[in-house]
Amino acid sequence: MKRISIDPITRLEGHGKIDIFLDEQGDVANAYVQIPELRGFEKFCVGRQAEDMPNLTARICGVCPEAHHMAATKALDRMFHVDPPPTAKKLRELFYSIFYATDHTTHFYALSGPDFVLGPDAPAAERNILGVVKKVGMDVAGKVLKMRHDGHSLIKMIGGRAVHPNWGLPGGVSRGIDESQRQEIEARGLEAVEFAKFSLKILDDIVLANKTYVALITGDVYLHKTYNMGMVDANNCTNFYDGKIRITSPSGKEVAKYDCAEYRDHIAERVEPWTYLKFPYLKKIGWKGLVDGEDSGVYKATPLSRCNVAEGMATPLANAEYKRMYETLGGKPIHHTLATHWARLVELLYAAERWVELARDPEITGKEYRTLPTATPTEGVGCVEAPRGTLTHHYAADERGILTMVNLIVGTTNNNAPICMSVKKAAQKLICKGNVNQGLLNMVEMAFRAYDPCFGCATHNLPGQMPLEVTLRGPDGAVIEKLSQYM
């Protein structure tokens, strides 16, 4: 059997490796995504004070610490049996909306933008954000950096620190905002709405106006008919901060809607011998392997999944874009993996609009932002939608608040099985009789990157960028050909 290795996956958070195994004919037999991840977070947190969790778990990741901080804080609300006052809930959602808009911006322009705006066949040296600037115009650089700067500044203003917030407490938050801060947040939010509209226009002008790109999105190379998962509000609209978890079938029918505390009734985790990442699946449907369809418990939890499980977006402009996406791509649900990038921009607009709505809420500057917990801590589950999937934190503690159990299902883990399936399918379509070239391999990577995966991202060190290396081996293991490129 021949083996093709793509290592590391360029522009992937953390460090991952794709192994593609070819059969005797040179066609794809199997594809596996292998992730060297830092392990042990769930173990070493046991024995520590529960209140440390929002700060400790934020260190799991340098990209989405706000998501871990918020899921941990919500788990502590439940564990300490305390309901935060309305101002605290709104402040948390405001903070989270700003984080979302900032995170989705970076992803679109630094990752998916280069693939989409320049096209998968563009030379590797140009397929980066500088290539986007060259094609879209110089002013895009200033807009992206301003959006990031505003987001990070406001996250620091509200959450105490720019990267790892230290603000969430069981029962609320450690401080509120005053009127001048509120005005600043609102003003930046209005600019964020304009920025989101500008980003959707880029998608229109450059991606949707190009028939080749549209054919790539709607073709069957990146098609997977799986179940979908996402958080919804009382009206079944997408919500990132709070609500119920809704699961819909490949045909779009609701099959479950539950409070996050019931997650173990719905989600089970499969362990495979070749990787230490777990594969969550729908318990009631069952594990049938890395396959899609109504009978397979594999589900996705991505921006597109959140759109698929919802009835719409709760803000007017985003809802109009939501409808346009489904009208353009042939109705709900959408199973084309690459449409995830479009869904991400719809969410960017929603996050920006929600940011403005909350900044204008009369309660947002309220002084009641903490309910002091008085009950004995027991157990709690907290969920938020991380940008890259539903994030679940589950803790149990003794009567002193010392942790006795920690279980985390991080956003990307939900998508572990679909990621492997997407890579395999793309490879099957794009590698034939052992013929491989750089463009085809990039398209395999595109399948992966659509999930915005975040694996083992708690560490970094020099050196960083390594070449994308592809090794073709014959059945005896001898190297037939080596390809490499720097991204």
Partner 1 sequence: MSTLIIGLGNPLVTDDSVGLRVAAGLRERLAGRSDVAVVDDYWGGLRLMEQMVGYDRAIVIDAICSGAKPGTIHHLATGDLPTQRSASSHDMTLPTALTFGRQAGLRLPEDEAILLVGIEAEDILNFGETCTPAVAAAVSLAVADVLAILDPIPQPEEAGALIA
Footprint of partner 1 (CB under 8 A): 8, 10-15, 36, 38, 40-41, 44, 56, 59, 62-63, 103, 106-107, 110-111, 128-130, 133, 138, 141-142, 144-145, 148-149, 152, 163-164, 449, 452-454, 457-466, 487
Question: What minimum distance in Å lies between the beta carbon of 11 and partner 1?
Answer: 5
Helix or strand run (H / E) with residue 7: strand 2-7
Q: Which amino acid is it at 422?
A: S
Q: Which is nearer to partner 1, 159 or 453 (CB)?
A: 453
Cis link prior to 463 (omega < 30° from 0)?
A: yes
- Paired strand residues for 406: 395
Question: What minimum distance in Å lies between the beta carbon of 275 and partner 1?
Answer: 16
Q: Which is nearer to partner 1, 46 or 214 (CB)?
A: 46
Question: What minimum distance in Å lies between the beta carbon of 51 and partner 1?
Answer: 17
Q: Are 102 and 148 in contact (CB under 8 A)?
A: yes
- Paired strand residues for 422: none
Q: Which is nearer to partner 1, 50 or 359 (CB)?
A: 50
Helix or strand run (H / E) with residue 147: helix 139-159
Question: What minimum distance in Å lies between the beta carbon of 366 and partner 1?
Answer: 32
β-strand 403-409 against 2-7: which pairing, if any? Answer: unpaired
Distance, in Å, from the CA atom of 238 to the CA atom of 233, rounded to the nearest integer, reads 6
Question: What minimum distance in Å lies between the beta carbon of 59 and partner 1?
Answer: 5
Q: Which is nearer to partner 1, 103 or 357 (CB)?
A: 103
Question: What minimum distance in Å lies between the beta carbon of 115 and partner 1?
Answer: 11
Q: Which amino acid is it at 382?
A: G
Question: What minimum distance in Å lies between the beta carbon of 102 and partner 1?
Answer: 10
Q: Which is nearer to partner 1, 155 or 359 (CB)?
A: 155
DSSP 170-237: TTEES----HHHHHHHHHHHHHHHHHHHHHHHHIIIIIIT-HHHHHHHHSSTTB---EEEEEE-TTSB
Per-residue b or e along 130-155, where b marks 16 or more CB atoms closer than 10 Å to that residue's CB = ebbbebbeeebeebbeebbebbeebb
Q: Which is nearer to partner 1, 145 or 480 (CB)?
A: 145
Q: Which is nearer to partner 1, 36 or 366 (CB)?
A: 36
Token pair 């099957």: residue: 428
User: Residues, the chain, total?
Assistant: 487
Question: What minimum distance in Å lies between the beta carbon of 291 and partner 1?
Answer: 26
Q: Which is nearer to partner 1, 132 or 359 (CB)?
A: 132
What sign does the CA torsion over 283, 403, 175, 195 have?
negative
Question: What minimum distance in Å lies between the beta carbon of 299 and partner 1?
Answer: 21
Q: Are 66 and 99 in contact (CB under 8 A)?
A: yes
- Paired strand residues for 479: 473
Q: Where are the alpha helices (DSSP H) in 379-437?
A: 411-414, 416-430
Q: Which is nearer to partner 1, 11 or 306 (CB)?
A: 11
